[in-house]
């Protein structure tokens, strides 16, 4: 299932990194941001399908 999002917020801890991928299974184009921040999607704009959090 695709989600039509233009921006993302990473509510994980500040030592974490949130990844947004354009394809299921953590594949395809990728955007990322540090925990505690938010911003516009570039590579996955209106085409994000999976999210992965790397806990720091």
1, part of any domain: no
Whole-number average pLDDT of the chain: 91
50-to-36, 54 alpha-carbon distances in Å: 19, 13
Number of compact structural domains in the chain: 1
* Whole-structure pTM value: 0.86
- Domain encompassing residue 41: 7-54
28, part of any domain: yes
Give the Cα separation of 56 and 29 in Å (integer).
22
2, part of any domain: no
* Centroid of chain to Cα 7: 9
pLDDT of residue 16: 96
In the numeric block, which tokens belong to residue 3? 């989600």
11, part of any domain: yes
* Continuous segment of H or E residues that includes residue 7: strand 7-9
pLDDT digits (tens, 9 = 90+) for 17-47: 999 999 989 999 999 999 999 999 999 999 8
pLDDT of residue 1: 46
Residue 15: count other Cβ atoms within 10 Å of its Cβ: 11
């Amino acid at each position: 299932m695709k989600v039509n999002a233009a921006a993302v917020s990473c509510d994980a801890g500040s030592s974490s990194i949130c990844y947004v991928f354009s394809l299921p299974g953590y594949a395809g184009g990728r955007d990322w941001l540090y925990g505690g921040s938010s911003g516009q999607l570039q590579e996955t704009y209106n085409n994000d399908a999976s999210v992965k959090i790397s806990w720091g």
